[in-house]
Amino acid sequence: MSEEERLTLLRTILMEEPAVRWRHLGRPGTALPGPAPQPRAEWCCCGMCPEMPTEQERLCCGETRCITDDPEFVKATQDTFHLTLGVRYHRDRWGEAAPDPADLEGPHRQCRYQAYRHFVLWQWGALGRGNRRALPACAVTAIRAKYPSPSGRYTGFKDVPL
């Protein structure tokens, strides 16, 4: 295998498995050649949070070793099979319509939202319908990396209207 093929394979693996990528970013000698990583925000403690668009979203996990490195984070938010089952259960429970098969963003959007739900359940338990919390920027970034929007647009945190 040529050097270029090895680098391409390594990039593919790291893009498909964010936990591996997060574990190795920033360590001397482990950075991949290519674009520089995003600058980290001043308010971040873990070193993995990018700048976020709103004050409410500027939230860090507060850990010295990022929460996205936790194997349970990976299990809860990165396993497509379990997230898809969660999407089906949520849709059945709340009587939501099936997604439009022509919607190209649909599968990733659904897995992304379900990953957010799993993260909340893992961290805080069941909050109840309409009860929301902003997620740490590092967690949001890892989930978005695994299930990106083809358009690159994301809703962001929306608080419950009063």
pTM: 0.68
What are 65-115's pLDDT values in tens digits?
A: 999 999 999 999 999 898 988 888 887 877 777 766 666 567 788 889 899
Domain ranges across the chain: 39-146
Identify the weakest region by mean pLDDT among 2-16, 28-42, 58-72: 28-42
Enumerate the β-bridge partners of residue 50: 40
Ramachandran angles phi, psi of 95, nearest 5°: 65, 35
Packed helices 106-124 and 71-78: angle between N→C axes, nearest 10 degrees: 140
Identity of the amino acid at 101: P
**Cα–Cα distance between 12 and 33 in angstroms, integer?**
13
Grouping H, G, I as helix, E, B as strand and the rest as coil, residue 108 is: helix
Report DSSP letters for 2-50, one per residue: -HHHHHHHHHHHHHH-HHHHHHHTTSTT-PPSSSPPPPBPTT-SSS-PB
